[in-house]
């Protein structure tokens, strides 16, 4: 990555919030998985390192993260690490398949159709002819006050 590309990513990272935090446990497998998934979605992320509790400094943690995630360290300032990795659509699809996105459970979701009041009333009347008498006599409160019926 050239210095100009790095500078442009650094400028884009200014407006981002740190969405991942590293604390007293340091770099764990769960943390790597979380950062990996986030990089697949966002490409550019900020990571906050809690300076008082983290086992290593951010400058020591950044290369370790970059190596394990095949990412680029854009910058390390204070307790903030900025990482970038270009999204690979093939890799993302492979991860989704491995996690079971195409399972029967995902396919079995019902499609819910929201019905309005009139549609529900028509269906009720079709099942029961006496349901016609359940209809409200007035359209709204103003008609009720004025004595207007349908």
- The confidence band for 60, taking pLDDT boundaries of 50, 70 and 90, is very high
Residue pLDDT, tens place only, 88-145: 888 878 877 877 655 555 566 667 777 888 888 888 888 887 766 655 665 666 665 5
Q: Within a domain: residue 83?
A: yes
- How many separate domains does the chain show? 1
Q: Within a domain: residue 62?
A: yes
pLDDT on residue 72 = 92
Which residues form the domain of 73? 3-90
- Say which residue the tokens 């549609």 belong to: 119
Residue pLDDT, tens place only, 21-48: 999 988 999 999 999 989 988 889 999 9
pLDDT on residue 147 = 59
Instruction: Provide the CATH number for the domain around residue 30.
Output: 3.30.110.60
Q: What is the pTM (predicted TM-score) of this model?
A: 0.62
Extract long-range pairs of 4-11: CB within 8 Å, 24+ residues apart.
6/72, 6/74, 6/75, 9/44, 9/74, 9/82, 9/84, 10/74, 10/75, 10/82
Q: What is the rounded average pLDDT of the residues 51-75?
A: 92
Residue pLDDT, tens place only, 65-80: 999 999 999 999 999 9
Q: Within a domain: residue 140?
A: no
Q: Within a domain: residue 133?
A: no
Q: Within a domain: residue 123?
A: no
Q: Within a domain: residue 115?
A: no
Q: Within a domain: residue 45?
A: yes
Q: Within a domain: residue 111?
A: no
pLDDT on residue 89 = 82
pLDDT on residue 92 = 78
């Amino acid at each position: 990555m050239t210095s100009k590309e790095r500078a442009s990513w650094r400028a884009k990272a200014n407006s981002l919030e740190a969405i991942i935090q590293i604390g007293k446990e340091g770099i764990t497998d769960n943390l790597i998985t979380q950062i990996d998934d986030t990089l697949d979605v966002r490409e550019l992320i900020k990571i906050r390192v809690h300076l008082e509790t983290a086992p290593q400094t951010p400058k020591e943690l950044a290369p370790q993260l970059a190596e394990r995630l095949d990412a680029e360290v854009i910058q390390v300032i204070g307790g903030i690490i900025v990482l970038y990795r270009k999204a690979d659509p093939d890799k993302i699809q492979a991860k989704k398949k491995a996690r079971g996105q195409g399972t029967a459970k995902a396919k079995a979701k019902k499609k819910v159709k929201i019905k309005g009041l009139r549609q529900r009333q028509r269906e009720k009347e079709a099942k029961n002819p006496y349901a016609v008498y359940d209809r409200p006599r007035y359209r709204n409160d103003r008609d009720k006050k004025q004595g207007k019926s349908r």
